[in-house]
Structure 1
Amino acid sequence: MPLAIEGIYPALLTPFTKDEEVNETALKQLVNRLIVAKVNGIFALGTNGEFHVLSREEKLNITKMVVEETAGRVPVMVGSGGNSTREVIELSQAMEKLGVDALSVITPYFIPPTQEEAEEHYRKVAEAVSIPVVLYNIPSKTGFSLAPETVGRLAKMPNIVGIKDSSGDFSNIEQYIAHTRGEHFSVIAGTDSLILKTLQAGGTGAVAATANLLPETVVAIYNSWKAGDYEKAQAAQQALQPLRDTFGLTSIPASLKKAVELSGIPVGPARAPIQEPTGEVLKQIEAAVQFYKTNQEG
């Protein structure tokens, strides 16, 4: 894998059966659906992949399945983050052995570290593996945000190759770009409403949850921008909004899972305690999916 993260990596959902077991058939179906849509890579075991409610064994089994099903057609990046440096190193090394192309490492959460502690955490993880490492900043879920200066220092490490920023704060993305300029380092959007703005500011792509349902549309943002067709890129960016509007109706990722299920891939429910949408919320999700079917995605 080149030491750069470029283009659209769907934030892969983890399909479950009604009994909340991993649905291997649906997982393979979703991976192939995304690759056919010409995504640039697959990102598994992120926030929308419910990494936080999966056991270590489940994470490794999912990783193995995704790597095998992808079969080298696109790069595979997998979330190996956790709260202790030891845990993250052990999981990262196990995932490297399974053949992933890159690791996404979320900041430690629950007890927010200092900037110095986070920097040391990432240095130790990066030194323990030989594949690319992507930092993952999502302060609304972790209670901690990597400072641009910290990211600038970490970007000098040879295999720390990028950061996925899901802060939703565009100025934060701009600061990461400014502090890593001149390094071989990718700043990628983790907030789907900021994909085009990130590309225009000097970012290189996105990890996009909406791509589970609308992969062609999300890919069109990147491809149109790259081709210089900014009007088409903007239209594709705006087309994501009806789906994004459903995300706040439920706990993550219940709305998105229901939307993808309604589109024909049985990704099942989120794992409890997150509940399936019902009533008026379900009607709004159904309306969004119908809108895309009527308007033919892309």
Structure 2
Amino acid sequence: MTAPLFKGVITALITPLRDGKVDEAAFNALVERQIAAGVHGLVPMGTTGESATLHPEEHHRVVELCVNVAAGRVRVIAGAGASATDKAIDLARRAKAVGADGALIVTPYYNRPSQEGLFQHFHAVAEAVQLPVLLYNVPGRTGVDLANETVERLAGHPNIVGIKDATGDMARISRMRAAPAMDGFALISGDDPSWLGYMAHGGHGVISVTSNVAPEGMVALYDAVMSGDLESARLWQDRLIALHRALFLDASPAPSKYALARLGLCGEELRLPLTPCNEAVKPAIDEAMRTAGLI
């Protein structure tokens, strides 16, 4: 079996904002905190990074900052998804130019392409840019599901190295692993509450929202799984499960920014149409943070 290029706990970073602009000092500090906690990778400019509302130059700057601060200590997988294939190619090229280790490409949202359209989209990006591509399937946000059969077709391309699966469908990964083309293909969960189960089904890690707030706990859970200590893994899951839920009680990443503000790490500011975390859900986030041993 070939080892996957990407594995472990990979944080889908928030992008701190201050007075309408990217708070670069806070972002750099967040990256350092993640690396000190032992995460295995970082995703700047994914969904959690508010990629949909940042301007193109802000997007490129955040990726560049992450690469520069990480300085090769962990892998950086730049968010480079777009509804238009040409735009995704441009984002991936810019990520490669600043030294990113890979590109996370989400299924094109809103226009809901066919499976053939999805295949052609990802194939075109992989052909255009010599950079490892991680597919991203999140039908709850994009309105389109990347079928296993399409993933298996794409896995034959040398630049397409894995998938972030945010469907929460545990049976899907077992069916996917059975395909011969999947040897060495990174199978990464994109769903924090179910990633322990995903690992049990043969997954290689998680691209996580929760690890913004609790990176040490997420790394401890991963380490427990990898050492075969399922009892410890379940104990960590029990500590974190309320936080997994709480960070989606309002539109993400508003709850994550609130939690990080409670830890004194950044402000709560978001960019419209996203708004700061609803006051009504903050007590539940506080309680989840206490359960996780964060406050």
TM-score where L is the length of structure 1: 0.93
| CA spacing shift, 1:238–1:145, aligned 2, 3 Å | same
Cα distance in 2 between the residues matched to 1:286 and 1:14 = 21
Q: Quote the residue 2:12 is aligned against.
A: 11
Paired position in structure 2 for 1:85: 85
Name whichever of 30-39 and 231-240 sits farther off: 231-240
Closer, same or farther: CA 172–182 of 1 in aligned 2, 3 Å: closer
1:50–1:44 CA distance, 2 compared to 1 (3 A): same
- Aligned residues between the structures: 293
- Residue 264 of structure 2 aligns to which amino acid in structure 1? G
Q: Which runs of 5+ in 2 are unaligned?
A: none
Tell whether 2:130 aligns with 1:153: no
Using the TM superposition, name which of 172-181 and 276-285 deviates more. 172-181
| Equivalence for 2:269 | 269
| Paired letter, 1:105 | I
In the other structure, the counterpart of 1:99 is 99
The equivalent residue for 2:30 is 30
Return the offset for 1:64.
0.7
Which whole-Å CA distance do the structure 1 matches of 2:267 and 2:138 have between them? 24
Q: 2:176: which partner in 1? A: 176
Which whole-Å CA distance do the structure 1 matches of 2:74 and 2:119 have between them?
30
Q: Which moved more, 1:252-261 or 1:271-280?
A: 271-280
Tell me the CA shift for residue 44 of structure 1: 1.3
Deviation at 1:267, TM superposition (A): 4.2
Q: 1:79-228 residue pairs with structure 2 within 5 A? A: 79-179=79-179, 182-228=182-228
User: Structure 1 pair 282/56, CA: closer, same or farther in 2 (3 Å)?
Assistant: same
Task: Name the structure 1 match of 2:62.
Answer: 62
Equivalents in 1 of 2:65, 2:221: separation in Å?
28
Shift in alpha-carbon separation, 1:259–1:200, aligned structure 2, 3 A: same
CA contact (8 A) 2:213 2:260 kept: yes
**180 and 188 in structure 1: CA distance in 2 versus 1, 3 angstrom threshold:** farther
Residue type of the alignment partner of 1:186? A
Aligned residue for 2:168, secondary structure, equals: coil
TM-score, scaled to structure 2 = 0.94
Query: Which AA in structure 2 matches 1:52?
Result: A
CA distance in 1, matches of 2:269, 2:294: 25
Across the aligned residues of Structure 1 and Structure 2, the Cα RMSD in angstroms comes to 1.6
Give, in whole Å, the separation in 2 of the partners of 1:276 and 1:184.
40
Contact 1:217/1:236 (<8 A) preserved? yes
The code of the aligned residue for 1:103 comes to A
2:164 is matched by which residue type in structure 1?
A: K
* Percent identity (aligned): 37
1:181/1:232 CA distance change after superposition, 3 Å: farther
Deviations 1:35-94 (A, max 9, x none): 000101111111111111111111100011111111111110011010111111111111
- Unaligned 5+ segments in structure 1 are none
